């Protein structure tokens, strides 16, 4: 198969983190709206930084035209965004909020009118609160047909306008941080519920894709999987090598293997006795439900075999046996720049799952200490440019068919539990004034990609 070279970076926005207008025009409350606006109901460790909320965020709901034009100005040819389920179905199901639906139809029409291509994600963590209260959210098998009905509504509204779709973004994160460990909405601490969430995500994906095949026959659909490359802490240790693979199984295989092979990885089954089985009926429904690989990648880590540390995961290490730090640390304990890990992740996904093409749907870096910098220092974000340069080089060097690459993110935004204290944006954004200012990384993108072949 001919390899597709990466030609452009498309900075992206996603709804809960950018959209704001959290209770306008008939929108219902999401689980993240509830978490942000009721901090007193949560343990201290589960609260959002400084009690920040996404109520206004980047005001993308009202400013989407100017922000999409900013992305185009930087050389983007595609614009990826997610839809707020609670804006379409305030109660999760039932009556459609026509004002909310029209908003996304109008936005897609605008994207197309300026010569860009829309790329749509149906679910990015913001479950309607009504579904959490009524059925238990992703812990319940009932969520699958409800999600499929919501998906069908969007396919009917946008299927003749949008070619590339994703059902669900980073299920491992919202299943295990939302239902397993707390900290993310809906702040439940139960590994059994996280396991239920895992299989219900697969059920919902399969049910939605069934609708997709009927309603968008010429389209492509996937699920956004977070891929963190895992290397052995001691490269000579068979136990650490096995732990590194086990980390990939829990990060990637728990969702991808059922779709491509009809079953969970053996290492996952062995450590999650409460994980429901993939039935033959579900395996059959999942088969062929992913037209391309949509992968998010930020960082890599070392895996050290420590038995019984956790029943579902392998702890991260960023220094190996020889004292080698895996890369430059970003503004978080989990984020380190290791460009070779990107190439390894791309090759791993291509070699193991072998779909027609890969879309890199998120990749980005938080500059360490940016929240405490002067404005001049913030705008001169050389570390972010270095990250993008090296990661894109490694993407091009990977022998895989890459069709698109999306940088996270267009501008600073609401970073979930971190609120507004962490910054991935290539554009500075002031949450009090709504000013947007290009950082050096945005200008780098503009210079590098605006006049690239294919733009």
Which residues form the catalytic set?
170, 362
How many C-beta atoms lie closer than 10 Å to residue 356's C-beta?
A: 11
Contact 209, 279 (CB under 8 A): no
Task: Label residue 426 exposed, middle or buried (CB < 10 Å: 0-12, 13-18, 19+).
Answer: buried
Distance CA(102)–CA(121), nearest Å, equals: 17
How many C-beta atoms lie closer than 10 Å to residue 279's C-beta?
A: 12
Contact 336, 327 (CB under 8 A): yes
Region label for 151, one of left (φ > 0), alpha (ψ between -120 and 50) or beta (otherwise): alpha
Contact 246, 285 (CB under 8 A): no
Pairing state of beta strands 229-232 and 220-226? Answer: unpaired
Token output for 120? 């749509």
Provide the 8-state DSSP code for 178.
I
Token output for 333? 């304990």
Q: Is 405 in a helix, a strand, or coil?
A: strand
DSSP H/E element including 255: helix 254-261
């Amino acid at each position: 198969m001919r390899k597709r070279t990466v030609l452009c970076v498309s900075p992206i926005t996603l709804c809960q983190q950018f959209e704001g207008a959290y209770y306008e025009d008939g929108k219902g409350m999401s689980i993240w709206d509830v978490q942000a606006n009721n901090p007193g109901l949560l343990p201290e460790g589960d609260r959002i930084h400084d009690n920040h909320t996404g109520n206004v965020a980047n005001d993308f709901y009202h400013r989407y035209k100017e922000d999409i034009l900013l992305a185009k100005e930087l050389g983007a040819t595609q614009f990826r965004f997610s839809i707020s389920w609670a804006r379409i179905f305030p109660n999760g199901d039932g009556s459609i909020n026509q004002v909310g639906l029209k908003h996304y139809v109008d936005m897609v029409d605008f994207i197309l009118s300026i010569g860009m291509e829309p790329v749509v994600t149906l679910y990015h963590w913001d479950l309607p609160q009504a579904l959490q209260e009524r059925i238990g959210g992703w812990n319940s098998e009932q969520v699958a047909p409800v999600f499929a009905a919501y998906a069908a509504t969007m396919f009917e509204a946008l299927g003749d306008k949008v070619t590339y779709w994703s059902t669900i973004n980073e299920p491992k994160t919202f299943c295990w941080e939302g239902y397993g460990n707390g900290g993310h909405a809906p702040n439940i601490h139960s590994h059994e519920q996280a396991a239920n969430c895992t299989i219900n995500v697969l059920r919902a994906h399969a049910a939605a894709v069934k609708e997709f095949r009927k309603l968008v026959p010429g389209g492509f659909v996937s699920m956004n999987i977070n891929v963190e490359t895992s290397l052995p802490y001691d490269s000579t240790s068979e136990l650490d090598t096995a732990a590194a693979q086990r980390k990939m199984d829990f990060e990637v295989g728990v969702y991808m293997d059922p779709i491509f092979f009809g079953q969970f990885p053996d290492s996952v089954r062995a450590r999650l006795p409460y994980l429901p089985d993939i039935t033959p009926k579900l395996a059959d429904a999942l088969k062929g439900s992913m037209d391309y690989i949509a992968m998010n990648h930020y960082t890599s880590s070392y895996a050290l075999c420590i038995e019984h540390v956790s029943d579902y995961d392998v702890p991260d290490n960023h220094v190996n046996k020889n004292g080698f730090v895996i890369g430059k640390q970003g503004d978080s304990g989990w984020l380190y720049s290791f460009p070779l890990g990107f190439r390894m992740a791309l090759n791993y996904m291509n070699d193991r799952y072998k779909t027609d093409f890969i879309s890199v749907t998120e990749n980005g870096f938080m500059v360490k200490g940016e929240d405490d910098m002067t404005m001049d220092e913030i705008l001169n974000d050389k570390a972010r440019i270095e990250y993008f340069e090296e990661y894109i080089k490694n993407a091009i060097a990977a022998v895989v068919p890459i069709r698109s690459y999306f940088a996270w993110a267009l501008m600073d935004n609401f970073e979930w539990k971190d609120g507004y204290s962490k910054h991935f944006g290539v554009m500075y954004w002031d949450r009090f004034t709504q000013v947007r200012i290009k950082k050096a990384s945005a200008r780098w993108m503009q210079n590098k990609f605006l006049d690239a072949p294919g733009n």
